[in-house]
Amino acid sequence: MENHNSSRLSEFVLLGFPNVGRIKGWLFLLLLLAYMFTVCGNLLIFLVIRLNTALHKPMYHFISILSFLELWYTATTIPKMLANLLSEKKTISFAGCLLQTYFFHALGGSECYLLTAMAYDRYLAICQPLHYPAIMTPTLCFKMAACCWTTGFLCPITEISLVSQLPFCGNNKIPHIFCDFPPLLGLACKDTSINVLVNFAINSFIIVISFLFIMFSYGRIIVAVFKIKSTAGRKKAFSTCASHLIVVFLFFGSIIFMYVRLKKSYSPTLDRTFAVVYSVVTPLANPIIYSLRNKELIRAIKKTIFCKGDKTSPTHH
Protein backbone atom coordinates (compact mmCIF):
# COMPACT_ATOMS: atom_id res chain seq x y z
CA MET A 1 0.00 0.00 0.00
CA GLU A 2 2.85 2.39 0.79
CA ASN A 3 4.33 1.69 -2.63
CA HIS A 4 1.07 2.70 -4.27
CA ASN A 5 0.87 5.92 -2.27
CA SER A 6 4.43 6.92 -3.11
CA SER A 7 3.66 6.76 -6.83
CA ARG A 8 0.17 8.26 -6.59
CA LEU A 9 -0.77 10.64 -9.39
CA SER A 10 -0.98 14.31 -8.44
CA GLU A 11 -3.19 15.29 -11.36
CA PHE A 12 -5.47 13.92 -14.06
CA VAL A 13 -6.04 14.88 -17.69
CA LEU A 14 -9.68 15.36 -18.71
CA LEU A 15 -9.96 14.20 -22.33
CA GLY A 16 -13.31 16.00 -22.65
CA PHE A 17 -14.68 15.95 -26.21
CA PRO A 18 -12.02 14.13 -28.28
CA ASN A 19 -11.63 14.38 -32.06
CA VAL A 20 -13.71 17.56 -32.36
CA GLY A 21 -11.02 19.15 -34.55
CA ARG A 22 -12.23 22.16 -36.50
CA ILE A 23 -15.62 22.31 -34.76
CA LYS A 24 -13.95 22.96 -31.37
CA GLY A 25 -14.71 26.69 -31.65
CA TRP A 26 -18.37 26.06 -32.50
CA LEU A 27 -18.67 23.56 -29.67
CA PHE A 28 -17.21 26.12 -27.26
CA LEU A 29 -19.66 28.77 -28.47
CA LEU A 30 -22.62 26.38 -28.23
CA LEU A 31 -21.66 25.30 -24.70
CA LEU A 32 -21.03 28.92 -23.63
CA LEU A 33 -24.45 30.02 -24.93
CA ALA A 34 -26.11 27.04 -23.21
CA TYR A 35 -24.38 27.95 -19.92
CA MET A 36 -25.28 31.65 -20.19
CA PHE A 37 -28.92 30.80 -20.95
CA THR A 38 -29.00 28.30 -18.06
CA VAL A 39 -27.61 30.85 -15.60
CA CYS A 40 -29.81 33.73 -16.82
CA GLY A 41 -32.96 31.60 -17.10
CA ASN A 42 -32.67 29.95 -13.69
CA LEU A 43 -31.58 33.20 -12.00
CA LEU A 44 -34.55 35.03 -13.53
CA ILE A 45 -37.02 32.39 -12.33
CA PHE A 46 -35.48 32.38 -8.83
CA LEU A 47 -35.59 36.19 -8.50
CA VAL A 48 -39.09 36.55 -10.00
CA ILE A 49 -40.54 34.01 -7.56
CA ARG A 50 -38.73 35.60 -4.60
CA LEU A 51 -39.79 39.16 -5.56
CA ASN A 52 -43.46 38.45 -6.34
CA THR A 53 -45.57 37.83 -3.25
CA ALA A 54 -48.33 36.39 -5.46
CA LEU A 55 -45.94 33.48 -6.18
CA HIS A 56 -45.15 32.76 -2.55
CA LYS A 57 -46.86 29.36 -2.74
CA PRO A 58 -45.35 25.92 -2.04
CA MET A 59 -45.16 24.90 -5.73
CA TYR A 60 -43.26 28.06 -6.70
CA HIS A 61 -41.14 27.84 -3.56
CA PHE A 62 -39.82 24.47 -4.75
CA ILE A 63 -39.38 25.69 -8.35
CA SER A 64 -37.27 28.63 -7.10
CA ILE A 65 -35.09 26.29 -5.02
CA LEU A 66 -34.66 23.98 -8.03
CA SER A 67 -33.57 26.98 -10.15
CA PHE A 68 -31.11 28.06 -7.44
CA LEU A 69 -29.74 24.51 -7.24
CA GLU A 70 -29.27 24.34 -11.04
CA LEU A 71 -27.03 27.44 -10.90
CA TRP A 72 -24.56 25.61 -8.65
CA TYR A 73 -25.04 22.23 -10.35
CA THR A 74 -23.91 23.60 -13.73
CA ALA A 75 -21.14 25.71 -12.14
CA THR A 76 -19.38 22.54 -10.93
CA THR A 77 -18.79 21.21 -14.46
CA ILE A 78 -19.47 23.56 -17.39
CA PRO A 79 -16.83 26.30 -16.66
CA LYS A 80 -14.13 23.60 -16.54
CA MET A 81 -15.47 22.06 -19.78
CA LEU A 82 -15.25 25.49 -21.44
CA ALA A 83 -11.70 26.07 -20.16
CA ASN A 84 -10.60 22.65 -21.43
CA LEU A 85 -11.97 23.35 -24.92
CA LEU A 86 -9.70 26.40 -25.16
CA SER A 87 -6.66 24.98 -23.39
CA GLU A 88 -4.10 22.48 -24.62
CA LYS A 89 -3.37 21.53 -21.01
CA LYS A 90 -6.56 19.87 -19.74
CA THR A 91 -5.29 18.92 -16.30
CA ILE A 92 -7.10 18.89 -12.97
CA SER A 93 -5.47 18.21 -9.61
CA PHE A 94 -6.26 15.04 -7.66
CA ALA A 95 -7.98 17.10 -4.89
CA GLY A 96 -9.78 19.25 -7.51
CA CYS A 97 -11.07 16.13 -9.24
CA LEU A 98 -12.44 14.70 -5.98
CA LEU A 99 -14.04 18.05 -5.08
CA GLN A 100 -15.72 18.33 -8.50
CA THR A 101 -17.04 14.76 -8.17
CA TYR A 102 -18.29 15.40 -4.63
CA PHE A 103 -20.16 18.63 -5.38
CA PHE A 104 -21.60 17.28 -8.63
CA HIS A 105 -23.06 14.25 -6.82
CA ALA A 106 -24.10 16.23 -3.73
CA LEU A 107 -26.07 18.68 -5.88
CA GLY A 108 -27.38 15.87 -8.09
CA GLY A 109 -28.60 13.98 -5.00
CA SER A 110 -30.22 17.16 -3.68
CA GLU A 111 -32.04 17.53 -7.01
CA CYS A 112 -33.34 13.95 -6.80
CA TYR A 113 -34.78 14.64 -3.35
CA LEU A 114 -36.14 18.04 -4.38
CA LEU A 115 -37.97 16.59 -7.39
CA THR A 116 -39.43 13.99 -5.00
CA ALA A 117 -40.58 16.72 -2.60
CA MET A 118 -42.22 18.52 -5.54
CA ALA A 119 -44.11 15.33 -6.45
CA TYR A 120 -45.34 15.05 -2.85
CA ASP A 121 -46.47 18.68 -2.98
CA ARG A 122 -48.48 18.01 -6.18
CA TYR A 123 -49.94 14.84 -4.61
CA LEU A 124 -51.21 16.78 -1.58
CA ALA A 125 -52.54 19.66 -3.71
CA ILE A 126 -54.57 17.37 -6.00
CA CYS A 127 -55.44 14.38 -3.79
CA GLN A 128 -56.02 16.25 -0.51
CA PRO A 129 -56.99 19.81 -1.56
CA LEU A 130 -58.96 20.58 1.62
CA HIS A 131 -56.08 19.65 3.93
CA TYR A 132 -53.34 21.03 1.64
CA PRO A 133 -53.05 24.58 3.12
CA ALA A 134 -52.90 23.18 6.68
CA ILE A 135 -50.27 20.52 5.80
CA MET A 136 -48.01 22.32 3.31
CA THR A 137 -47.16 25.32 5.49
CA PRO A 138 -44.16 27.64 4.85
CA THR A 139 -42.42 25.96 7.80
CA LEU A 140 -42.85 22.49 6.30
CA CYS A 141 -41.67 23.77 2.89
CA PHE A 142 -38.52 25.17 4.50
CA LYS A 143 -37.88 21.93 6.43
CA MET A 144 -38.38 19.79 3.33
CA ALA A 145 -36.00 21.94 1.27
CA ALA A 146 -33.38 21.92 4.05
CA CYS A 147 -33.70 18.14 4.32
CA CYS A 148 -33.21 17.75 0.54
CA TRP A 149 -29.97 19.79 0.62
CA THR A 150 -28.63 18.15 3.80
CA THR A 151 -29.21 14.55 2.72
CA GLY A 152 -27.95 15.35 -0.78
CA PHE A 153 -24.64 16.64 0.60
CA LEU A 154 -24.23 13.70 2.99
CA CYS A 155 -24.82 10.93 0.42
CA PRO A 156 -21.55 11.09 -1.61
CA ILE A 157 -19.24 11.21 1.45
CA THR A 158 -18.80 7.41 1.63
CA GLU A 159 -18.12 7.11 -2.11
CA ILE A 160 -15.60 9.99 -2.06
CA SER A 161 -13.87 8.54 1.01
CA LEU A 162 -13.44 5.16 -0.72
CA VAL A 163 -12.20 6.69 -3.99
CA SER A 164 -9.70 8.93 -2.18
CA GLN A 165 -8.03 5.81 -0.74
CA LEU A 166 -7.60 4.11 -4.14
CA PRO A 167 -4.12 4.06 -5.70
CA PHE A 168 -3.85 5.87 -9.05
CA CYS A 169 -0.39 5.13 -10.36
CA GLY A 170 -0.56 4.52 -14.11
CA ASN A 171 -2.79 6.09 -16.76
CA ASN A 172 -4.01 9.55 -15.71
CA LYS A 173 -6.25 10.29 -18.70
CA ILE A 174 -9.96 10.47 -17.77
CA PRO A 175 -12.09 9.60 -20.83
CA HIS A 176 -14.92 11.90 -19.78
CA ILE A 177 -16.01 15.56 -19.89
CA PHE A 178 -15.64 16.02 -16.10
CA CYS A 179 -14.46 14.08 -13.04
CA ASP A 180 -16.92 11.39 -12.02
CA PHE A 181 -16.94 8.05 -10.20
CA PRO A 182 -17.26 5.63 -13.18
CA PRO A 183 -14.28 6.98 -15.20
CA LEU A 184 -12.17 7.41 -12.04
CA LEU A 185 -12.69 3.79 -11.00
CA GLY A 186 -11.52 2.71 -14.43
CA LEU A 187 -8.09 4.32 -13.78
CA ALA A 188 -7.39 2.80 -10.34
CA CYS A 189 -4.46 0.36 -10.01
CA LYS A 190 -6.49 -1.91 -7.73
CA ASP A 191 -9.65 -4.01 -7.79
CA THR A 192 -12.58 -1.61 -7.43
CA SER A 193 -15.42 -4.13 -7.09
CA ILE A 194 -16.17 -2.85 -3.54
CA ASN A 195 -16.40 0.73 -4.86
CA VAL A 196 -18.68 -0.35 -7.71
CA LEU A 197 -20.93 -2.22 -5.26
CA VAL A 198 -21.07 0.70 -2.79
CA ASN A 199 -21.77 3.17 -5.62
CA PHE A 200 -24.52 0.90 -6.94
CA ALA A 201 -26.15 0.60 -3.50
CA ILE A 202 -26.03 4.34 -2.74
CA ASN A 203 -27.13 5.42 -6.23
CA SER A 204 -29.91 2.82 -6.30
CA PHE A 205 -31.21 4.14 -2.99
CA ILE A 206 -31.08 7.81 -4.04
CA ILE A 207 -32.16 7.52 -7.67
CA VAL A 208 -34.43 4.46 -7.85
CA ILE A 209 -36.26 5.05 -4.54
CA SER A 210 -36.81 8.73 -5.42
CA PHE A 211 -38.05 7.85 -8.90
CA LEU A 212 -40.40 5.12 -7.61
CA PHE A 213 -41.80 7.50 -4.97
CA ILE A 214 -42.44 10.12 -7.69
CA MET A 215 -44.15 7.53 -9.92
CA PHE A 216 -46.26 6.31 -6.97
CA SER A 217 -47.33 9.90 -6.24
CA TYR A 218 -48.30 10.44 -9.86
CA GLY A 219 -50.18 7.12 -9.93
CA ARG A 220 -52.34 8.44 -7.07
CA ILE A 221 -52.63 11.83 -8.80
CA ILE A 222 -53.84 10.25 -12.07
CA VAL A 223 -56.51 8.26 -10.20
CA ALA A 224 -57.65 11.43 -8.40
CA VAL A 225 -57.68 13.51 -11.61
CA PHE A 226 -59.91 11.03 -13.45
CA LYS A 227 -62.44 11.38 -10.63
CA ILE A 228 -62.76 15.09 -11.39
CA LYS A 229 -65.99 15.49 -13.36
CA SER A 230 -65.23 18.68 -15.31
CA THR A 231 -62.87 18.58 -18.30
CA ALA A 232 -61.48 22.01 -17.36
CA GLY A 233 -60.70 20.76 -13.86
CA ARG A 234 -58.86 17.73 -15.21
CA LYS A 235 -56.86 19.89 -17.65
CA LYS A 236 -55.85 22.31 -14.90
CA ALA A 237 -54.73 19.46 -12.62
CA PHE A 238 -52.67 17.81 -15.36
CA SER A 239 -51.12 21.11 -16.49
CA THR A 240 -49.71 21.79 -13.01
CA CYS A 241 -47.95 18.40 -13.12
CA ALA A 242 -46.81 18.25 -16.76
CA SER A 243 -43.74 20.51 -16.37
CA HIS A 244 -42.51 18.59 -13.35
CA LEU A 245 -43.00 15.22 -15.06
CA ILE A 246 -41.04 16.31 -18.17
CA VAL A 247 -38.10 17.39 -15.97
CA VAL A 248 -38.30 14.14 -13.97
CA PHE A 249 -38.13 11.90 -17.06
CA LEU A 250 -35.35 13.97 -18.64
CA PHE A 251 -33.20 13.98 -15.48
CA PHE A 252 -33.86 10.52 -14.08
CA GLY A 253 -33.83 8.84 -17.51
CA SER A 254 -30.18 9.77 -18.05
CA ILE A 255 -28.83 9.35 -14.50
CA ILE A 256 -30.42 5.89 -14.02
CA PHE A 257 -28.51 4.65 -17.06
CA MET A 258 -25.26 6.30 -15.90
CA TYR A 259 -25.17 5.45 -12.20
CA VAL A 260 -27.41 2.47 -11.44
CA ARG A 261 -25.15 -0.24 -12.86
CA LEU A 262 -22.85 -2.95 -11.58
CA LYS A 263 -19.91 -2.07 -13.83
CA LYS A 264 -17.38 0.75 -14.00
CA SER A 265 -18.57 2.20 -17.31
CA TYR A 266 -19.97 1.48 -20.73
CA SER A 267 -18.38 3.04 -23.81
CA PRO A 268 -16.80 6.48 -23.14
CA THR A 269 -18.87 7.94 -26.01
CA LEU A 270 -22.14 6.72 -24.50
CA ASP A 271 -21.14 7.97 -21.03
CA ARG A 272 -20.26 11.40 -22.45
CA THR A 273 -23.60 11.58 -24.29
CA PHE A 274 -25.66 10.87 -21.16
CA ALA A 275 -23.43 13.21 -19.13
CA VAL A 276 -24.25 16.06 -21.52
CA VAL A 277 -27.98 15.34 -21.07
CA TYR A 278 -28.04 15.54 -17.26
CA SER A 279 -25.28 18.14 -16.76
CA VAL A 280 -26.10 20.56 -19.62
CA VAL A 281 -29.45 19.82 -21.32
CA THR A 282 -31.63 19.30 -18.21
CA PRO A 283 -30.54 22.50 -16.37
CA LEU A 284 -30.93 24.38 -19.68
CA ALA A 285 -34.42 22.96 -20.26
CA ASN A 286 -35.75 23.59 -16.73
CA PRO A 287 -36.40 27.35 -17.07
CA ILE A 288 -37.93 26.81 -20.54
CA ILE A 289 -40.21 23.98 -19.39
CA TYR A 290 -41.41 25.72 -16.21
CA SER A 291 -41.94 29.15 -17.77
CA LEU A 292 -43.52 28.11 -21.08
CA ARG A 293 -46.12 25.90 -19.41
CA ASN A 294 -47.01 28.28 -16.59
CA LYS A 295 -49.07 31.37 -17.43
CA GLU A 296 -48.88 32.75 -13.89
CA LEU A 297 -45.08 32.58 -13.96
CA ILE A 298 -44.93 34.17 -17.44
CA ARG A 299 -47.11 37.07 -16.21
CA ALA A 300 -44.85 37.53 -13.19
CA ILE A 301 -41.71 37.52 -15.38
CA LYS A 302 -43.22 40.17 -17.70
CA LYS A 303 -44.31 42.25 -14.71
CA THR A 304 -40.86 42.07 -13.10
CA ILE A 305 -39.01 42.96 -16.31
CA PHE A 306 -41.33 45.66 -17.69
CA CYS A 307 -43.09 47.07 -14.59
CA LYS A 308 -40.44 47.18 -11.89
CA GLY A 309 -42.53 49.31 -9.62
CA ASP A 310 -45.25 46.65 -9.46
CA LYS A 311 -43.20 43.67 -8.34
CA THR A 312 -45.22 42.68 -5.36
CA SER A 313 -48.73 43.32 -6.56
CA PRO A 314 -51.00 40.31 -6.79
CA THR A 315 -51.30 38.51 -10.09
CA HIS A 316 -54.63 39.08 -11.84
CA HIS A 317 -56.52 35.93 -12.82
From the number of C-beta atoms within 10 Å of its C-beta (0-12, 13-18, 19+), residue 252 rates as: buried
63-89 per-position pLDDT tens digit:
999 999 999 999 999 999 999 988 888
In this prediction, residue 266 has a pLDDT band, given cuts at 50, 70 and 90, of low
Picking from 55, 66, 58, 81, the residue whose alpha carbon sits closest to that of residue 287 is 66
Average pLDDT taken over every residue of the chain:
87
**pLDDT surpassing 90 at residue 54:** no
214-248 per-position pLDDT tens digit:
999 999 998 888 887 777 777 777 777 888 888 89
* More confident call, 314 vs 201: 201
Residue 264: the pLDDT is 60
**pLDDT surpassing 90 at residue 105:** yes
Residue type, 222: I
Residue 20: the pLDDT is 74
CATH number corresponding to 2-310: 1.20.1070.10
**pLDDT surpassing 50 at residue 316:** no
Average pLDDT in the 273-301 region? 85
The CA distance from 231 to 278, in Å, is 35
In what side-by-side order are the strands of the sheet with 91-93?
91-93, 11-14, 173-174
In this prediction, residue 22 has a pLDDT band, given cuts at 50, 70 and 90, of confident
Domain borders along the chain are 2-310
301-314 per-position pLDDT tens digit:
888 777 654 444 44
In this prediction, residue 261 has a pLDDT band, given cuts at 50, 70 and 90, of confident
